[in-house]
Amino acid sequence: MQPTRGIKGFLASRPGLVVLGLIAVGAMVGSFLYLGPFIAIPTLLLFGLAIPIYAGWKRPRVLVLFGIVVLLAAAPLATLADNQAIRAPSPAYASSTAAPYGNGGSVLQGALATPYTGLPGGVYEFTATVHPEYSPTNASTPLWVELFVSTCPGATGNSSPNCGSGYPFLLENESLPANLTAPHSVSFNVTLNGTNIWWWQMAAVVETPANSGNLTWIFLDVSNGYGAVQGPVTGDFAATYGVILLPITEVMFLYSGTVFLVGLLVYMFLKAREARRRRPPITSGGAPAGGPAAGGGSSETASASASPSPSPEAACPNCGAVVYPSESACWKCGAKLPAPDATPPSSAPLKGA
């Protein structure tokens, strides 16, 4: 049998499996962080299942271990990269410039939290500038400004459909001078306890139309899918790493791991069906089809019938699955098969009468 060459031959070796594992881990981390957990699902199916099967790693237990190792390695690395991104300060934000929340400019501008990272129990300042000249048409000037701080992204109350209830939540407000006409700075000093990743939102409140009693909240325009500004982060790098490690691991195993397991079960079902198809048929007498006849006959005929006829099938020396001479590797376990004899043995001549 000719040795397997090229990329497939390399991947079929143990060093190739290690290299494939490193590629799979890197692809999982990249797709999870930059494309989202749902895109990480086909990434694991491709690098953790399809390519190993193509390369010859066909044993289910090998594929299971390979997938688990990839997930266990990818989750901490994704957490490490995500932690670095989380601790990068958020920029200053402003409210929308378009109606009905603005009028050619932003009512709230330069909204910022400082410091962005600090110790648990520290005081953090939230600042912004109110621009009454950009109040919506027919609306009053801003009446007050509210600040919402919590560990639930986008929460503006004690409960949220995204987080349930019971999370830390702080609400602060500051009244503005009546009939404000010039830009006015607002500042909130808030104590944040515990090691957490906080989120915040700020809103200016106006009457629309003026003196109607109908209130409109003009929020910061944060286009990140959460509708809230990330930060501050309380705790050091190791502490925040511990906060996000378990959630990221759970998401990876829940989505990618579950679909990977389903894909593996489908593969095992197809293998079992292939094994049944390859099993030689059994005659009514209990002998494999093509075996010796049960009737009498001449001695030469009986002798010829007693000798087994050559069969195109053989057994894998590793797992015993039925294989054919044209196959270089077992379809079931991936083990390499010995090459068939180049010259068939010559049959002994029959003794003449």
| pLDDT tops 60 at residue 217 | yes
Tell me the C-alpha distance between 210 and 208, whole Å.
5
Task: Supply the pLDDT for residue 333.
Answer: 77
Q: What is the pLDDT of residues 229-270, one digit of tens each?
A: 999 999 999 999 999 999 999 999 999 999 999 999 999 999
| pLDDT tops 70 at residue 5 | no
Tell me the C-alpha distance between 180 and 223, whole Å.
29
| pLDDT tops 60 at residue 37 | yes
Edge-to-edge strand ranges of the sheet holding 122-130: 108-114, 122-130, 184-192
Rg, Å, the chain Cα set: 35
Asked if 95 and 107 touch (Cβ cutoff 8 Å), the reply is: yes
Q: What is the percent of the chain where pLDDT is above 90?
A: 65
Band of residue 81 on the pLDDT scale cut at 50, 70, 90: very high
Cα of first residue to Cα of last residue in the chain, in angstroms, is: 43
Run of H or E residues at 169: strand 169-175
Band of residue 285 on the pLDDT scale cut at 50, 70, 90: low
Q: Which amino acid is at 18?
A: V
**By mean pLDDT, which of 107-121, 127-141, 280-294 is the weakest?**
280-294
Tell me the C-alpha distance between 209 and 50, whole Å.
62
- Name 109's Cβ contacts closer than 8 Å, sequence gap at least 6: 92, 94, 95, 128, 129, 131
Q: Which residue has the higher pLDDT, 4 or 19?
A: 19
Task: Supply the pLDDT for residue 279.
Answer: 67
Band of residue 324 on the pLDDT scale cut at 50, 70, 90: confident
Structure tokens at 329: 């590797």
Q: What is the percent of the chain where pLDDT is above 70?
A: 84
Tell me the C-alpha distance between 349 and 97, whole Å.
101
* CA nearest neighbour of 108 among 216, 266, 256, 253: 216
| pLDDT tops 90 at residue 172 | yes
Task: Supply the pLDDT for residue 353.
Answer: 41
**Over residues 180-208, mean pLDDT:** 96
Name, of 212-221, 272-281, 340-349, the range with top average pLDDT.
212-221
3-state class (DSSP) for residue 29? helix
Number of Cβ atoms within 10 Å of the Cβ of 309: 9
Structure tokens at 207: 């009457």
pTM: 0.74
Tell me the C-alpha distance between 145 and 183, whole Å.
13
Q: What is the pLDDT of residues 87-97, one digit of tens each?
A: 999 999 999 99
Task: Supply the pLDDT for residue 303.
Answer: 46
